[in-house]
Amino acid sequence: MTASPKLIVIGGSWGGIQASLQILQQLPPDYSIPIVLVLHQLRNNEGNLQQVYQKKIKLRAVEIEEKESINSGYVYLAPTNYHVLIENDYTFALDDSELENYSRPSIDVTFTSAADVFGDQVIGILLSGASKDGSSGLKYIFEKQGKAIVQNPEEAEVDTMPQAAIDLIPGCSIMNLTSIQAFLLSLHVS
Amino acid sequence: MKHSSEILFEQDVESLLKDIHLQYGYDFNGYARASVYRRIKRFLAHKHLNSLQELRAPLFADSFFFENFLQEVTVNVTEMFRDPSFFLSLRQHVLPILSTYPFIKIWDAGCSTGEELFSLAILLKEEGLLERTKIYATDINQKVLKQAKEGIFSAKHMPAYTAAYYAAGGKQEFSSYYTSNYGSVKFNSSLVKNVVFYPHNLATDSSFNEFHLILCRNVLIYFGRELQERVFNLFDESLVSLGYLGLGKKETLSMSGISGNYMAVDKNNRIYRKQN
């Protein structure tokens, strides 16, 4: 990774909520890099993920709105039952097409799209989950010289997802949640 | 930095889309880019084509191949009773008002393969309105219109559709609306007796009637801002005074130029009513 990062994309499934909360909790409210969070959820679930995050983190947590522009200080949550793509002008585009890896939102879809737009200025982080979604998207980020981080499977609540990524991407960074958090904090420009 | 292969891909796609417009009259200009690029990449992979150059020859020589391309690039994924709360809200807030009209006209814009159309027809039947309702079901793609008319869907989705139907306030045995055969189900054709199937392109075609209710769900997300605005104006022209507009869960009227003349009947479910 050469350039300064412009976007952090985080994917997770089973155990991903807790893991991502742990990473995001210590980030300051004016954290300088926008964060997009794609978590697998039940279809047609009308849950309150946004409130859950809003209570526990200092950044503003919002569910992604169609064509919304991407700004720092926010954690953008993928809405249930939509894929999240990113446009060249740094706005979100939602998509309700086929499930990928049995999932919508799919982590692969967002990771791939983020790498197409931001290239080596994107950081992809894959957390705990009982799925193979995310690994090929993270590989794509890695191939475009972005940074590919995988939660240490030994620490993950379910290791299927991180392990699938590690098997697919020799050279990805394997980190514990505390190290991921410290790394993200070190990128903050105040 | 953006890779040169990405930039090259974008340039080639744009030139391809321009040629499609010239030869076939389909204008993708106003479509949201990220999604179009992704779907073209998917189509290439699916057809085992290595480049956009390889796609050109069959695309421009073979109109059936083009129809297939069109079907893949314009998203046709749909479900019955998707977002059950939307249909429940229609049932509770909109249909009782429409029931006071002697004759009801509805436009299902971008009806795709018809799952939503049959959901709507079932709703109207259960509220006693189907007989005096005319529905115009339109889509850019003739192939999906034909599928919609047939009303045949895969049986494997039925458990999920049944659950969604009851969540939407369903009043009957859901299975009473269809017959099963060899892994497929066919919905009773009486449900679409009063439906007119008609090819219509929201990007280029104009208004063709006046309606009491327009449903256009998860179509606008694939359009850019300008094209969205065009479609909102088209709907505005096509709605009677006090008519209703139903959008997808993540689509909103609030950013459009016509929003001042609409009131949200159900903000969360994106159901709006024209004010004059």
* B224 CB neighbour count, 10 Å cutoff: 18
Instruction: Using CA coordinates, name the residue in chain A closest to B86.
Output: A44
Three-state secondary structure call for residue B206: coil
Torsion of CA B165, B166, B172, B173, to 10 degrees: 80
For residue B150, the one-letter residue type is E
What is the tens place of the pLDDT at every residue in A134-180? 999 999 999 999 999 999 999 999 999 999 999 999 999 999 999 99
Element at B246 (helix H, strand E): strand B239-247
Q: Yes or no: say if A77 and A61 are a contact pair by the CB < 8 Å rule.
A: yes
CA distances from B39 to A190, B35, B71, B259 (A): 39, 6, 10, 31
Three-state secondary structure call for residue B110: coil
Concerning whether A133 is annotated as a catalytic residue, the answer is yes
The residues, ordered by sequence, that sit 6+ positions from B33 with a Cβ below 8 Å of its Cβ are A87, A88, A93, B10, B224
Residues of B in contact with A98 (CB under 8 A): 77
Residues of B in contact with A82 (CB under 8 A): 221, 250
Chain center to CA of B87: 15
For residue B215, the one-letter residue type is L
Task: Return residues 129-158 of A near B (CB < 8 Å).
Answer: 144
- Tell me which DSSP letter residue B31 carries: B
The residues, ordered by sequence, that sit 6+ positions from A147 with a Cβ below 8 Å of its Cβ are A1, A5, A122, A123, A124, A141, A173
In 3D space, the residue among A79, A23, A152 whose CA is nearest the CA of residue B250 turns out to be A79
Q: Yes or no: say if A50 and A61 are a contact pair by the CB < 8 Å rule.
A: yes
Mutation for testing the B interface, residue in A88, A102, A103, A116 having most B CBs under 10 Å: A116
Above 90 in pLDDT, residue B162? yes
Tokens representing A102 are 């049995």
In 3D space, the residue among A22, A36, A10, A33 whose CA is nearest the CA of residue A149 turns out to be A10
Instruction: Using CA coordinates, name the residue in chain A closest to B81.
Output: A44
Residues of A in contact with B248 (CB under 8 A): 96
Above 80 in pLDDT, residue B252? yes
Tokens representing A106 are 């799919």
Strand order in the sheet with A147-151: A60-63, A74-77, A35-39, A7-12, A122-126, A147-151, A173-175
What ipTM is given for this predicted complex?
A: 0.89
Three-state secondary structure call for residue B80: coil
Tokens representing B101 are 């009209």
Q: For B216-220, what is the mean pLDDT?
A: 96
What is the tens place of the pLDDT at every residue in B80-118? 999 999 999 999 999 999 999 999 999 999 999 999 999
In terms of C-beta density within 10 A (0-12 exposed, 13-18 middle, 19 or more buried), how is residue A41 classed?
Answer: buried
Q: Could you tell me the pLDDT band of residue A44, with boundaries at 50, 70 and 90? A: low
What is the tens place of the pLDDT at every residue in B37-96? 999 999 999 999 999 999 999 999 999 999 899 989 998 889 999 999 999 999 999 999
What is the tens place of the pLDDT at every residue in A50-84? 888 999 999 999 999 999 999 999 999 999 999 99
Chain center to CA of A102: 18
Tokens representing A36 are 């997009």
d(CA B125, CA A87): 42
Residues of A in contact with B250 (CB under 8 A): 64-66, 79, 82, 94
Q: Could you tell me the pLDDT band of residue A28, with boundaries at 50, 70 and 90? A: very high
- Mean pLDDT estimate for chain B: 94
Q: Could you tell me the pLDDT band of residue A190, with boundaries at 50, 70 and 90? A: confident
Can you give the pTM of this predicted structure?
0.92
Lowest mean pLDDT among A45-49, B164-168, B173-177: A45-49
What is the tens place of the pLDDT at every residue in B198-212? 999 999 999 999 999
Q: Yes or no: say if B166 and B85 are a contact pair by the CB < 8 Å rule.
A: no
A119 reaches B (C-beta below 8 A): yes
- DSSP calls for chain A: --SPP-EEEEEE-TTHHHHHHHHHTTS-TT-SS-EEEEE---TT----HHHHHHHH-SSEEEEPPTTPBP-TTEEEEPPTT-EEEE-TTSBEEEE----BTTBSS-HHHHHHHHHHHHGGGEEEEE---SS-TTHHHHHHHHHTT-EEEEE-TTTSSS-HHHHHHHHH-TTPEEE-HHHHHHHHHHH---
Mutation for testing the B interface, residue in A6, A63, A66, A70 having most B CBs under 10 Å: A66
Torsion of CA B218, B221, B224, B230, to 10 degrees: 30
What is the tens place of the pLDDT at every residue in B141-160? 888 999 999 999 999 999 99
Three-state secondary structure call for residue B144: helix
Chain center to CA of B81: 13
